[in-house]
């Protein structure tokens, strides 16, 4: 089974993660030392946002987005049977954007130039009615 991982262009840099962890711990410490208890909630949410993982794949069945907290995993799956359109962005750099449309929702994924053709072949093999269009 082919599983092609999409590139994440919104991944947090290491410096941003370190700053968020420091800010989260500082907010929790502020909550303990003062009477402002809402800062602990914000600090915990900030820490959880840093350790939150998200990976997106194109498989032979469709598009899967896997969200991962420590013990909780959630998967959103769009089958190629549900996807009506695929819009291809112009090639810029080493990655190309693909917009997958399902009803009124869209999901933008980035793949390398070689992987775009593989994803399109998988989509067309599962649903020949998918409309593919280049957008610029």
Percent of the chain with pLDDT strictly greater than 90: 30
For 97-121, what is each residue's pLDDT tens digit?
Answer: 899 999 899 999 988 888 888 999 9
Q: What is the 3-state secondary structure of 1-43?
A: CCEEECECCCCCCHHHHHHHHHHHHHHHHHHHHCCCCHHHHHH
The pair of structure tokens assigned to 98 is 């693909």
Q: Dump pLDDT digits (tens) for 52-83.
A: 888 889 998 999 999 887 778 899 999 999 99
Strands of the 131-134 sheet, one edge to the other:
105-112, 95-102, 85-88, 131-134
| Residue-level pLDDT at 9 | 64
Look over the chain and give the mean of its residue pLDDT values, rounded to a whole number: 87
Decide if pLDDT at 134 tops 80: yes
User: Which domains does the chain possess?
Assistant: 3-134 (2.30.29.30)
CA distance 86 to 130: 7
């Amino acid at each position: 089974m082919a599983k092609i991982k999409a590139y994440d262009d919104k991944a947090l840099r290491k410096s941003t993660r370190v700053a968020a962890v420091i800010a989260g711990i500082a907010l929790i410490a502020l909550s303990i030392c003062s009477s402002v208890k809402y800062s602990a909630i914000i600090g915990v949410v900030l820490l959880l946002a840093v350790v939150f993982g998200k990976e997106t794949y194109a498989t032979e069945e469709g598009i899967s987005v896997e969200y991962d907290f420590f013990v909780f995993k959630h998967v959103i799956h769009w089958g190629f049977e549900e996807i009506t359109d695929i819009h291809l962005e112009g090639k810029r750099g080493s990655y190309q954007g693909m917009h997958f449309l399902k009803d009124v929702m869209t999901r933008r994924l980035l793949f390398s130039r070689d992987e775009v053709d593989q994803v399109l072949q998988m989509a067309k093999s599962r649903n020949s009615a998918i409309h593919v269009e280049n957008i610029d």
